[in-house]
Chains A and B, each alone.
Chain A
């Protein structure tokens, strides 16, 4: 089933798989909600394929039944959900399917065959929700048909490189989720600014102590790091004193003016409300 053979040729295309965290969260949620008798859940993966990369953006659970002899997948459910999702995001297509669990099952080959009919080169994602081995591992496979001449012998799952991809705005979400425990309150703007600044300060301290160590001979200097630091520092714009003061004063004045204006408007509304004169025009 799973294996990399030295004799057989590797996959022709250099495909890699990128997963959005949304899909992973949905898979976890689906796993928690599974029916009592089921060991694992399977479902469809939606996404886009661009040259060399399969990007998995969304997924949904498909009910299925499996026993040691046979496996039944609710295809109608899969089709309906796919149509519904198409109406929201027409660009996303079926790119494969996922299953939870520590290892591949025998029936996976059959399911893979079905999905290959839906989408060529469909990807199989194996998410280990049972946390075996103390790690939350995610593997992506593609299937390859082993055949001798015309006769099809079996399907082999070949592992592909996969990584988790963060969109820009998702970073805020995932950072928040990662920093909290079981339940957190979202940070207000000021608090998050303070946290960012603290992190910046820590970084600067680290860099400074490293440089000090190198100068005093306590640590070996790495020329690559040294060059990188020099480059970074040179990017910091350095103005002459009068220039900088002028810039700084102008910006500060702009900010103060905007704050003043907005407070003025707020006061106007509050006053008008209290006096019942909201019918009078703003002079």
Chain B
């Protein structure tokens, strides 16, 4: 399933990047989504256009579900009239501090995967962009994980059998940026290479404390969640052990009763009573995995921010001399 049809790069049109950035930035602090259109060429997924989803589609359901679907159909029909690629290849969404690993994402992905084998989700972090870095990522779920998820086999034993660690859930795909010749002429005209740009100013900013604070707060929340999950697992183990013990005591009692009855010559009671002890379903490890992923994203971000500010601090020190 992986071999020749594996997705190696995602090629974005400059236009798509600007549209995504504009839409997500203007909708702050709300998180928004939109659809990606393009073509699937061999090992590369070319995204040539995109459009935004109205915010109400994401929040409410019921009658707005039909409205959302009709919005999509109308938009695709209009775009087809102007020769835009009419092929959905995925969706984009904005996130808060890079946390996109939620159940919603996985479910949406599986939904898309039914129809489109090579769909991708582009995640954009507006807060990181304001610090001068390019915060677009292309994510997809690994095929193995998708098949396991569809079968709902996510217990510890199944995951170990399939050899899927928490790292194997999401896969980041490298992004390439592509511009037509006309657009290159446009950018050359618009932005002559200046000595320094606003992006430089953002990047060389020494104040990293607020960003770190927010990140660490979210990290703490995440660790709390992880601890909760682990408590759930411990409780489950305790419950299973307790149930096993109850079963043994009950069985012993039954055996004693049966012995007494044998002595008295009465009918023997059955030694098994499946209806009394229902087996406790084993917990799925999916939440655990998602939280681990989130934790690792936070840690990565913290690391990058800290190393950069260390570098900036050292440079500042040399300037002071």
Contact = CB atoms under 8 A, between A and B. Distances in A.
B22 A57 contact: yes
Contacts of A180: 177, 179
Contacts of A57: 22
A271 B162 CA distance: 19
Contacts of B48: 29
A201 to B, nearest CB: 10
Interface string B226-240: 110011011001000
A265 B129 contact: no
Contacts of B189: 135-136
B186 to A, nearest CB: 5
A88 B52 contact: yes
Contacts of B176: 183-185
Dominant SS among interface residues on chain A: helix
Contacts of B186: 24-25, 28, 136
A148 interface: no
B304 interface: yes
A202 B195 contact: yes
Given A22-B19, A25-B18, A84-B74, A169 B130 contact: yes
Interface in A51-78: 57-58, 60-63, 74, 77
B295 A269 contact: yes
A81 B15 CA distance: 19
A197 B315 contact: yes
Contacts of B29: none
Interface in B56-100: 56, 71, 74-75, 78, 81-84
B82 A32 contact: no
A23 to B, nearest CB: 9
Interface string B15-47: 101110111011000000000000000000000
B29 to A, nearest CB: 14
A26 interface: yes
Interface stretch (B140-148, B196-204, B260-268): B196-204
Contacts of A30: 82
A225 interface: no
A67 B231 CA distance: 74
Interface string B130-172: 1011101000000000000000000010001000011000000
B17 A173 contact: yes
Given A193-B203, A239-B320, A176 B134 contact: yes
Interface string A232-246: 000010110000100
B11 A183 contact: yes
A168 interface: yes
A102 interface: no
B203 A192 contact: yes
Contacts of A14: none
A61 B51 CA distance: 13
A199 interface: yes
B244 interface: no
Best-surrounded residue of B129, B134, B188 (most CB of chain A within 10 A):
B134
Contact of B18 (A173, A184, A248, A278): A173
Contact of A88 (B53, B178, B199): B53
Contact of B216 (A77, A164, A258): A258
A259 B303 contact: yes
Contacts of B258: none
Interface in A1-42: 20-22, 24-26, 28-35, 41
Nearest to A41: B82
Contact of B227 (A28, A186, A192, A281): A281
A196 interface: yes
Interface stretch (B103-111, B112-120, B271-279, B305-313): B305-313
20 contacts: A26-B19, A28-B182, A28-B183, A35-B83, A129-B182, A136-B189, A170-B21, A170-B22, A172-B21, A172-B202, A177-B187, A182-B178, A186-B134, A186-B136, A192-B134, A200-B200, A252-B313, A269-B295, A269-B296, A278-B285
The 4 closest A-B pairs by CB, nearest first: A87-B54, A262-B299, A25-B15, A136-B189
Given A192-B199, A266-B299, 19 more contacts: A25-B183, A26-B19, A84-B74, A87-B56, A88-B53, A167-B21, A171-B199, A177-B17, A178-B187, A185-B174, A189-B308, A193-B308, A258-B302, A266-B295, A276-B156, A278-B285, A280-B234, A282-B227, A282-B230
